[in-house]
Chains A and B, each alone.
Chain A
Amino acid sequence: MTGPALVAALDAQTLVDAVGLGAIYALMAVGIGLVFGVLRLVNFAYGQLIMAGAYTLAFTSQADWPTWMGIVMCFAVVIALSTALDRLVFRPLRTQSPAVMLVTTFAVAFLLQNVALLVDVRDDTIGEPAASVASLNQAVRVWGVEVRKVTFVAVAVAVVALSLLALILTRTRIGLQMRAAATDFATARLLGVRANTVIAVAVLLSAVIAASVSVLLTVQNPLVAPDFALKETIIVLVGVVVGGIDRLWTATLGGFSIGFATGVINGALPTDKTVFLPSVVFALVILVLLLRPAGLFAGRRTSVVERV
């Protein structure tokens, strides 16, 4: 596609959709970054938490629960699952290397996805519809641009969640402790920061964000399947690493950027031009890891990512 044509295709519609996508990805990036900060754990299974929430929405919708109860249930399930994972899997592994924890979350991700498959195929079809939240997917016209209601909600949720998180991190005692733990866990513990409390709070906040993302993604994609949010998680992980996983705001910015870029590219380029896009994206990831291991947006300082 030539330059002018590409610009022409970049209409307001595409940009609005891309901002909505960027907001959701930024939320996921925060969720992944929060846990990474205190546990040094890249959670491959984050997408499966979101998937579990989406299934909850689907099943409660099929059981004719009111939408708000479905959403409450969705939060409850995601928080419970996330806490269980922390207690049963991540806590015993805290002393292991980041690589071991990465393999473990990979295993957990696969496990949860296949559990979902087992639950899903009981009715002999893959995919469960979640009709109750679909009304948010309707569009309204704003200045001649079709904006789906969920886009407003996504941006609003992202702004509110990120602001609240910033307040918690900077204005509360537990937030201070979390930041201390993320900087240097050993020293923070010597100074009286309780490891289990800090980690539990980080896991909880991360789960709340995952549940919000469940709702937002289910609205956009009401057919819930076992690989729900899998692709998104991989893309967000890439964005987080490229942005700089070591700090929350660089991770978030990385998440938003990759979401926005994905939205623009998918909206502007025809499908046959994007078949090799994953290769280009992942090649860029490798390049960033090699050239700026701390991330694109990170300043020049030592990071957890080492080089030989």
Chain B
Amino acid sequence: MRRFDTAAQLLAPAALVVATAVVGSFTSRATEIYFLTAICSVGIVVAIYVFVGNSGVLSFGQISFVAVGAFASGVMTVPLDSKRGVLPDLYPILRDHTIGNLASLVLAAAIGAAFAFLVGVPLMRLSGLAAGIATFAVLEITHNLLREWTKIGPGATTLSLVPETTGLTQAAIGTVAVIAVAFAYQRSRFGRSLRATREDAAAAQAVGIDVHRQRLWAFTLSGALAGLAGGLYVHMLGSITADQVYLELTFVTLAMLVIGGVTSLWGAVIGALAVSGLDSFLSEAEQGVGVGFTIDLPQGARLVVLGTLMALVLVLRPSGLTGGREFGMPRLRRGGQLPTDATSEGAA
């Protein structure tokens, strides 16, 4: 029975993603994009969860790794014959080579991991507020470099002509892989050690856990998964700008994670799918949609609803929709708090 429960914690989120893909394959081309976006969002949110959920340290920076993965994968798959024309300023090694779809996804994951590791070595010493500000700084730096440095990418212009290889199949396979890695990690010795530091850093150190090292592992793994998710994302969109992987995506994905429940994989998946579903509905509604009566929302209403929802969840149910529990886990009497890495000094 116990083994079944454990398996279900992996199978339930994976099955949900596959089911989304299957349902999506029966819909029209115009609606399919919503299902694709939802599946890709799950990948990004699970990648963020691997670090933020397990460590309890806030990071605004994970979208940097999505961005780097997306641009690396995108730039390297633009067909050679058009690349010299559209991206003339690239370093020759980037300009004169092109790689296949699968190789570009591997590259995205590798570069995401490498970047996260480099950033993580110093940054993982920080926690709480300082970690929040420092990771935000990473996001700003990444965005600034991607926007201005035309030797590594398109700069302020749109990167287009990226092959649209992420259909429902590739999205589902990639995202299920991300979920499987996240699950394997949180069941491993490393994942458990990190979760111990989340609950009580001092006690974890006392039993010999190296907090810095465990956080760095998770940060690097999260970077790899975020890079891969970025690769899937750019191959879904076909074209991308640096602004698409910046503040708004950071906000939306954090909202998904918080709404679902920060401390569980199930929460990350549920949050991403639920918010994507709502998001698709709202963006349809911004164009006007009939459900018995016609809803016609003004532009921008989408993010207002999302922001309200996120604030409401944070205030009323800080543990998220799933209460921070894995699929099938019994409701605990205590707990269900958001991960805290510092005891609050505020007043009760």
> In this complex, what residue of A is CB-closest to B133?
A241
CA distance A41 to B345 in the complex (A): 10
CB-based contact B137/A95 at 8 Å: no
Interface centre among A97, A100, A118 (most CB of B within 10 A): A97
Produce 1/0 per residue, B276-303, CB < 8 A to A. Answer: 0000000000000000000000111101
Q: Which of B299, B303, B338 contacts A110 (CB 8 A)?
A: B303
- Whether A89 sits at the interface, judged by CB under 8 Å, is yes
Given contacts A118-B300, A286-B138, contact A98 B129 (CB under 8 A): yes
CB-based contact B311/A89 at 8 Å: yes
A129 to chain B, nearest CB (A): 20
> In this complex, what residue of A is CB-closest to B122?
A290
CB-based contact B124/A306 at 8 Å: no
B313 to chain A, nearest CB (A): 9
Q: Which of B133, B138, B148, B314 contacts A107 (CB 8 A)?
A: B314
Interface centre among A283, A289, A308 (most CB of B within 10 A): A308
B196 to chain A, nearest CB (A): 14
- Whether A142 sits at the interface, judged by CB under 8 Å, is no
- Whether A111 sits at the interface, judged by CB under 8 Å, is yes
Given contacts A107-B314, A286-B138, A307-B127, contact A99 B57 (CB under 8 A): yes
CB-based contact B304/A114 at 8 Å: yes
Given contacts A93-B314, A293-B130, A306-B127, contact A283 B348 (CB under 8 A): no
CA distance A40 to B303 in the complex (A): 27
Produce 1/0 per residue, B313-348, CB < 8 A to A. Answer: 011101000000000000000000010111111111
> In this complex, what residue of B is CB-closest to A42?
B129
Which range contains the number of A residues in contact with the other chain?
35 or more
Which residues of the partner chain A approach B97 to less than 8 Å between Cβ atoms? Answer: none
CA distance A306 to B131 in the complex (A): 9
Given contacts A96-B318, A98-B342, A290-B125, contact A308 B348 (CB under 8 A): no
Which residues of the partner chain B approach A289 to less than 8 Å between Cβ atoms? Answer: 126, 130, 133-134
CB-based contact A40/B344 at 8 Å: yes
- The segment out of A19-27, A132-140, A214-222, A272-280 that lies at the interface is A272-280
Which residues of the partner chain A approach B148 to less than 8 Å between Cβ atoms? Answer: 275-276
A216 to chain B, nearest CB (A): 25
- Whether B144 sits at the interface, judged by CB under 8 Å, is yes
CA distance A234 to B57 in the complex (A): 21
CA distance A145 to B85 in the complex (A): 49
CB-based contact B141/A282 at 8 Å: yes
CB-based contact B346/A308 at 8 Å: no
SS class of chain B's interface: helix, strand, loop or mixed? Answer: helix
B258 to chain A, nearest CB (A): 6
- Whether B307 sits at the interface, judged by CB under 8 Å, is yes
Produce 1/0 per residue, B215-248, CB < 8 A to A. Answer: 1000000000000000000000000000000000
B326 to chain A, nearest CB (A): 21
Which residues of the partner chain A approach B299 to less than 8 Å between Cβ atoms? Answer: 117-118, 121
Which residues of the partner chain B approach A234 to less than 8 Å between Cβ atoms? Answer: 140
- Whether A169 sits at the interface, judged by CB under 8 Å, is no
Which residues of the partner chain A approach B314 to less than 8 Å between Cβ atoms? Answer: 93, 100, 103-104, 107
CB-based contact A95/B346 at 8 Å: yes
CB-based contact B318/A118 at 8 Å: no
CB-based contact B128/A107 at 8 Å: no
Q: Which of B123, B126, B141, B212 contacts A278 (CB 8 A)?
A: B141
CA distance A100 to B56 in the complex (A): 10
> In this complex, what residue of B is CB-closest to A94?
B346
Contact residues, B109-162 vs A (CB, 8 A): 122-134, 137-138, 140-141, 144-145, 148-149
Question: With contacts A110-B251, A304-B129 known, what are 19 further pairs, Cβ within 8 A?
Answer: A42-B129, A89-B315, A97-B128, A107-B254, A107-B314, A108-B311, A111-B308, A111-B311, A118-B299, A276-B144, A276-B145, A278-B141, A279-B144, A285-B133, A286-B123, A306-B130, A307-B125, A307-B127, A308-B211
Identify the A interface with B (CB < 8 A): 39-42, 88-89, 92-104, 106-108, 110-111, 114-115, 117-118, 121-122, 181, 185-186, 189, 195, 199, 234, 237-238, 241, 245, 275-276, 278-279, 282-283, 285-286, 289-290, 293, 304-308
Q: List 6 A-B contacts (CB under 8 A).
A: A97-B340, A102-B58, A103-B314, A285-B133, A289-B130, A308-B201
3 nearest CB pairs, A to B: A111-B307, A195-B347, A99-B58
Identify the B interface with A (CB < 8 A): 56-58, 60, 122-134, 137-138, 140-141, 144-145, 148-149, 201, 211-212, 215, 251, 254-255, 258, 298-301, 303-304, 306-308, 310-311, 314-316, 318, 338, 340-348
